[in-house]
């Protein structure tokens, strides 16, 4: 066991990576990529909307519906990550895309005061497209 640990340490010295041994697992200590830019962008966008309202008189009736877009965009990001990880549109990516489109549709209906009589068939279309994509890509 100690020979294995010593050989791992030697291999890491040649690659230039440091490691921290936690139990029997090896974890490399590389700088983490900061992927937390999304909440900052959302706060900036909301601030810009409120600033436009004060300066220009721009008005959104149901501004709270913008918060529905936060999980929608998160679903789109998750679908993109799943696609990159697997190299294809798998079940996870398809589910995230479907959820993102449904939440975007709901937010759009509230933001633009669209009539639900015109909106509800789109939910059926999104579900049908998701089922078709599942049949083609799974």
* Integer Cα distance of 83 and 9 in angstroms: 34
Is pLDDT of 102 > 90?
yes
Distance between CA atoms of 31 and 38, rounded to whole angstroms?
A: 19
Does an H or E element contain 6, and which? helix 2-15
Q: What is the pTM of this model?
A: 0.62
pLDDT tens for residues 25-58? 455 555 555 566 777 777 888 888 888 888 987 7
Compare 31 and 134 and report the one with higher pLDDT.
Answer: 134
């Amino acid at each position: 066991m100690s020979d294995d640990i010593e050989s791992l340490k030697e291999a890491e010295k040649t690659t230039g990576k440091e490691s921290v041994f936690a139990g029997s697992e090896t974890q490399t200590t590389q700088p983490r990529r900061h992927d937390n830019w999304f909440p900052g962008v959302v706060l900036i966008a909301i601030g810009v909307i409120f600033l436009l309202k004060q300066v220009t008189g721009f008005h959104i009736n149901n501004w709270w519906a913008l918060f529905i877009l936060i999980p929608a965009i998160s679903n789109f990001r998750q679908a993109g990550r799943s696609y990159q990880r697997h190299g294809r549109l798998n079940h996870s990516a398809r589910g995230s895309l479907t959820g993102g489109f449904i939440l975007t549709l709901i937010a759009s209906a509230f933001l633009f005061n669209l009539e639900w009589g015109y909106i509800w068939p789109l939910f059926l279309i999104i579900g049908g497209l998701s089922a078709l994509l599942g049949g083609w890509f799974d």
